[in-house]
Amino acid sequence: MTARILKTFPWFELTLVVALALIGWVAFRLYDIKPEADESRQQYQELQNEFFRIAEFVGATINELNDALAQYLVTKDGATLQKFQLESLGWQQWSDKMQRRWSQVPESPAGAQPSGPGYSSTSTNLPPQVPSQLVPLLARIGAEFTNYQSAAAYLIDNAGRPLIRERVALSQRELHRSWSHLLTLAQE
């Protein structure tokens, strides 16, 4: 190349073209990544919504159960006891349904193996973290509700009977402790 050609060669324009090509390539690669980030964000939102639904149900229902039990222990009204039992049955059905629902969710889509750009961890439309986070929480809630139910059953059967006041008081403390734990689990 001669000095005149080197002087007139468009180095600046060539640099701009290379920079634009590099920016275009990066934008194209980021466009491929964006849907995966949106899917992850949506999965976390679904997981958060499920935790809120559980917290709302547990908090509201345990307070209703506790109020019905306290009212029954004071009034000995059969209708109040029936309300308590129906709400307990509703809780148990909800708990069983949730346990079945979330314990059957596979950690990853059944039979699907990561196989490149077409693979999506949302093939089942559920967050892959759900079983590992919700199932233990639901198990703790179920165990604490069982404790609550056993203390409530003892109080219903023995409240007001002579010579067992210490046991009734112990059951009341157990009932209150289980109620507090359930509310704490709902807040988690």
DSSP assignment letter at 37 = H
* pLDDT: which is higher, 105 or 53: 53
| Cα distance between residue 84 and residue 72, in whole Å | 8
pLDDT at 162: 67
The pairs formed by 56-63 with CB atoms below 8 angstroms and a separation of 24 or more are: 56/186, 57/94, 58/141, 58/182, 58/183, 58/185, 58/186, 59/183, 59/186, 59/187, 61/87, 61/90, 61/91, 61/94, 62/145, 62/148, 62/179, 62/182, 62/183, 62/186, 63/183
Q: Mapping DSSP to helix (H, G, I), strand (E, B) and coil, where does residue 105 land?
A: coil
Look up tokens 């509700």; give the residue: 145
| Cα distance between residue 37 and residue 92, in whole Å | 37
* pLDDT: which is higher, 86 or 107: 86
Convert the pLDDT of each residue in 46-70 to its tens digit: 878 888 888 899 888 988 988 998 8
119 within domain boundaries: no
180 within domain boundaries: yes
pLDDT at 181: 82
85 within domain boundaries: yes
Count CB neighbours of 56 within 10 A.
11
pLDDT above 70 for 129: no
Q: Determine the straight-line distance between the first and last CA of the chain, rounded to whole angstroms.
A: 74
The parent domain of residue 143 ranges over 39-102+125-187
Q: How far is CA 187 from the centre of its chain?
A: 12
68 within domain boundaries: yes
19 within domain boundaries: no
74 within domain boundaries: yes
pLDDT above 80 for 11: no
* pLDDT: which is higher, 37 or 169: 169
pLDDT above 70 for 117: no
pLDDT above 80 for 103: no
For the segment 21-31, the average pLDDT, to the nearest whole number, is 79
CA distances from 67 to 51, 79, 80, 177 (A): 24, 13, 10, 15
5 within domain boundaries: no
117 within domain boundaries: no
- Counting the structural domains of the chain, the total is 1
- CATH code: domain of residue 70: 1.20.1440
Of the ranges 2-6, 79-83, 124-128, 169-173, which is most confident? 79-83
Instruction: HSE, CB side, 13 Å, CA atoms: give it for residue 160.
Output: 7
Q: Mapping DSSP to helix (H, G, I), strand (E, B) and coil, where does residue 162 land?
A: coil
